Structure 1
Amino acid sequence: MTRPATEPLPTAETKHEFVEAMFDAIAPRYDLLNSVLSLRLDSSWRRVAAHQTNLKAGDRALDTCTGTGDFACELARWVGPSGEVIGTDFSREMLRWGEPKVSKFPNVTLQWADTQALPFPDGHFAAVTVAFGIRNVADTQRGLSEMARVTKPGGCVVILEFNRPKNPVVAWGYGIYQKLMPLIGGLISGKRSAYAYLPASIDAFHSREELAGLMETAGLHSIRVTDLNFGTVVIHQGLKGNKK
């Protein structure tokens, strides 16, 4: 079960607009804060998650909630020059700040899109990913269903997301870190409320088991769950197609 959030969160009806405005506001310092708050471990988490996409040279991939495009750029290394990666986000400011980064990767393009209504045909991508963004989608099930829809049979959906550690000692330390996050984030970005929302959204998000269940409901199977960073970061991988 999800836990009550420690900070006020937007309602289901207002979450979409709230999150869009929040990420527009923090876009200029987003990459710096990711590096600081993750102790520069975020790039290694993305590498592990990219490995689980099973992408190969020449494949087409989609990274939803791409932000400034970090995960899209990581996927580009896997599909190679003959492949294609599209990164989508509904924050135009995040995409704008990501353009200089992805310009170094000719096989990556960024475009505006809502993960709850992806503008792509069924079965268009070999892999569809989301890194630290699925909990910000207003309707998680709808977003997952869209991600599964545009994945080709035999392809996979990979979710990299924060979650609550199961080890009580780690959970205690993580709780202290969550209390520091708004202070650090506020000092660097000037947007303390945004960095109060982020840890609160982790507390309120689905458990590992619940998220796996939502992926199955979306039509994915063989769900694989991998804990990173003492269980504070979790990868969910699900396959598209019929079970064998």
Structure 2
Amino acid sequence: MTRADLGKDPSQVSAMFDRVAARYDRTNTVLSMGNAPLWRVATTRAVAPKPGERILDVAAGTGTSSASLAASGASVVAADFSPGMIEVGRARQEHVPNLVFVEADATNLPFGDDQFDAVTISFGLRNVNGPEQALAEFLRVTKPGGRLVICEFSQPQAPLIRTGYHAYQRYVMPTLVRLSSSNDDAYDYLNESIDAWPEQPELAALIRSVGYTDVAWRNLTGGIVALHRARKPLA
């Protein structure tokens, strides 16, 4: 049994993701009822990668989102603190020439200041022990005028959707996890971390508090996921 708790001890979270790495992408597709690829497309469009740009994908996991970004011709760094995820990612994405994997902690990135045209993180910020510190690091390594895109689970605003989603989490998801995951217990943490995560306005305020401007968000799938965007000031 390997799972993290809401204390989000980095070693526990890393070990948990090591254990689920092999089936991670398949499990995500199953649990999202097929929406994961759509969320990835929306995130890639929000990042708007261009040939010649340098993009950092934090908590990149097996590099599925990183490969989508690299398809534009941009140079992509896939950073994750789970060695197991990186091992699987390197094997699966070895055909992508402009994609490199780096083991890195989101709260202490091994990059210099003003290095990236865009920084993005998908379904990873809520797993960080110290999301405000991570956001400050994202700001530090982004070039002035550069972009931030965060795709993360959130809370549906419509009462009917929220009720249905919570019922899905409680009654349907456990069965799907048993059928598709290599570590059932790890996905108990998934529900706990989603329920404890700030709603859209609170996350926007946190992003703004570390120095980003032009902060905005839009809901995907009725608010089950929210896409937050921001820019680093030019000066």
- Common fold by TM > 0.5: yes
TM-score, normalization by structure 1: 0.90
- Flag structure 2 segments of 5+ consecutive residues without an equivalent: none
Question: Once the two structures are superposed, what CA deviation does each residue of 1:58-92 show, in whole Å capped at 9, x if it has no partner?
Answer: 100000000000111111122x1xx3100000000
- In the alignment, what sits opposite 2:227? 235
Instruction: Give the direction of change, closer, same or farther, for the CA distance of 1:190–1:46 in structure 2 (3 Å limit).
Output: closer
TM superposition shift of 1:101: 2.2
1:193 to 185, 207, 213: 185
Match of 1:34, SS state, is: helix
Question: Could you tell me how far 1:242 is from its partner in structure 2?
Answer: 4.5
| Aligned counterpart, 1:140 | 131
- Residue 17 of structure 2 aligns to a residue in which SS? helix
CA distance in 2, matches of 1:233, 1:119: 29
Alignment match, 1:18: 12
Question: 2:76 touches 2:98 (CA, 8 Å); kept in 1?
Answer: yes
Q: Does 2:226 align with 1:215? A: no
**Aligned partners of 1:120 and 1:182: how far apart in 2?**
39
Cα pair 2:19 2:182 within 8 Å, conserved: no
3-state SS in 2 of match to 1:158 = strand
Q: What is the identity, as a one-letter code, of the residue corresponding to 1:218?
A: V
Q: Secondary structure at the match of 1:117?
A: coil
Runs of 4+ in 1 over 4 A off after TM superposition: none
> What one-letter code is carried by the residue in structure 1 that aligns with 2:76?
V
RMSD: 1.6
- What amino acid does structure 2 have at the position aligned with 1:225? W
Equivalent residue letter for 2:32: S
Alignment: residue pair count: 232
Contact 1:186 1:193 in 2 (8 A): no
**Cα distance in 2 for residues equivalent to 1:55 and 1:188:** 32
Gaps in structure 1 of 5+ consecutive residues? 1-7
1:184 aligns with 2:186: no
TM value normalised by structure 2: 0.94
